[in-house]
Amino acid sequence: MVRSASFMGRAKVLGAFAVSLSLSLAAFAASAVRAEESGTASPVSEKTASVEAPARVLSAGGAVTEIVYALGAGERLIAADATSLYPEEAKDLPKVGYFRQLAAEPIVAMDPDLLLVVEDAGPEDVLRQLKAAGMNIVTVPDETSPAGVLQKIGAVGAALGLQEEAKALEAKIARRFDALETLIADAKEAPRVVILLSAGRGAPLAGGAESSADAMIKLAGGTNAFSEFENWKPVSAESLIAAAPDVIVVPSHVAEAMGGKDKVLEIAGVAETPAGRERRFVMMDSLLLLGFGPRTPEAAQKLARVLHPELAAKAAQLNSAEH
């Protein structure tokens, strides 16, 4: 009987949530219909810009949020997802959860006139619900390359009605990518690099080919030590030793959770790698490292200076010329 009562209680809670969500979506849809009838509604869109410049923007994706601020439109943001932590002001925005695990109700409750989502945002059924209710959604492409960063800036700028500002920002970031390419051209070698995630619990995840880690390593003039597999996979101590990385990169929050940079040495297998023996570890903010937003050239140069210490003077010269 206790088990049955518990089940019935959960059913009532879930039923109440479903009713609440349905009412919220229905109200949102009704509002959209009224706006359309009065000629003020913006069409639902995907990978396209809304006709009117939105004033209440909800952003899902750390790099997308960062671009909104870089375009000078931070005051339009009313909420964001949990990965939106840069610039500092973004930390104060109400959060609607992780961009891959969005829920409709908190988004509807914020009443945005534009939902900006990075390409991998979801779940897809939640986005379909929101679109069906009339919400204006723009999906921002997320290619992990210099061209992809510029495309991302252009998409956000178009969605916000800030095309000219986006063009100026694109030009600025393109110059930084050009400077990075000039810097890397003088590198003497391409050290083997591993970028690890979730290093504090069980086997760490390493970025393989076609991952954001792979793209960052290449931008910095390195060689991905785990190019034999794609995306992110757990790696054993034996495979880490066999990969023989010269440098190991760990996101700051992972290293801090472990107890600091020196704790990376305690990951199984690390001490027996060239990186472990030489203590060549790099800590970097995960959004900076893997977000592929406006600061990507900065992240790649920071890593490049570790991989290629002989380029430090040239890097300083290039940075001085930019400023």
Antiparallel, parallel or unpaired: β 192-197 and 247-251: parallel
Residue 17 lies in a domain: no
Do 208 and 89 share a domain, yes or no? no
At residue 318 the predicted structure's pLDDT band, cuts being 50, 70 and 90, is confident
End-to-end CA distance of the chain: 73
- How far CA 66 is from CA of 37, 63, 99, in Å, comes to 35, 5, 14
**How high is the pLDDT of residue 51?**
54
- pLDDT, tens digit (0-9, with 9 covering 90-100), for 280-305: 999 999 999 999 999 999 999 999 99
Boundaries of domain holding 253: 185-322
| Cα distance between residue 252 and residue 267, in whole Å | 15
- Bridge partners of residue 95, in order along the sequence: 80
Q: Dihedral angle at the C-alpha atoms of 252, 257, 260, 264, nearest 10 degrees?
A: -90
Do 222 and 151 share a domain, yes or no? no
Do 39 and 108 share a domain, yes or no? yes
Do 233 and 266 share a domain, yes or no? yes
CB neighbourhood size of 203 (10 A): 18
Residue 173 lies in a domain: no
CB neighbourhood size of 258 (10 A): 18
At residue 21 the predicted structure's pLDDT band, cuts being 50, 70 and 90, is very low
Residue 167 lies in a domain: no
Residue 230 has pLDDT above 80, yes or no: yes
Residue 217 lies in a domain: yes
Do 196 and 242 share a domain, yes or no? yes
Do 263 and 305 share a domain, yes or no? yes
- Cβ atoms 58, 96 nearer than 8 A: yes
Mean pLDDT of the chain: 86
Quote the Cα angle for 302-148-44, to 5°: 135
- Cβ atoms 207, 265 nearer than 8 A: no
Residue 259 lies in a domain: yes
**How high is the pLDDT of residue 315?**
82
**How high is the pLDDT of residue 202?**
79
CATH number of the domain bearing residue 38: 3.40.50.1980
Among 152, 306, 126, smallest CA distance to 216 is for: 306
Residue 109 has pLDDT above 90, yes or no: yes
Do 312 and 256 share a domain, yes or no? yes
Do 200 and 145 share a domain, yes or no? no
Do 191 and 123 share a domain, yes or no? no
Q: Which amino acid is at 50?
A: S
- pLDDT, tens digit (0-9, with 9 covering 90-100), for 22-81: 444 444 444 444 444 444 333 334 433 345 789 999 999 999 999 999 999 999 999 999
Total number of domains constituting the chain: 2
Do 124 and 231 share a domain, yes or no? no
Residue 17 has pLDDT above 80, yes or no: no
pTM of the model: 0.82
Do 87 and 195 share a domain, yes or no? no
State the average pLDDT over residues 251-277.
90
Do 248 and 147 share a domain, yes or no? no
Residue 322 vs residue 145, higher pLDDT: 145
Q: Residue 238: CB partners within 8 Å, gap ≥ 6? A: 269
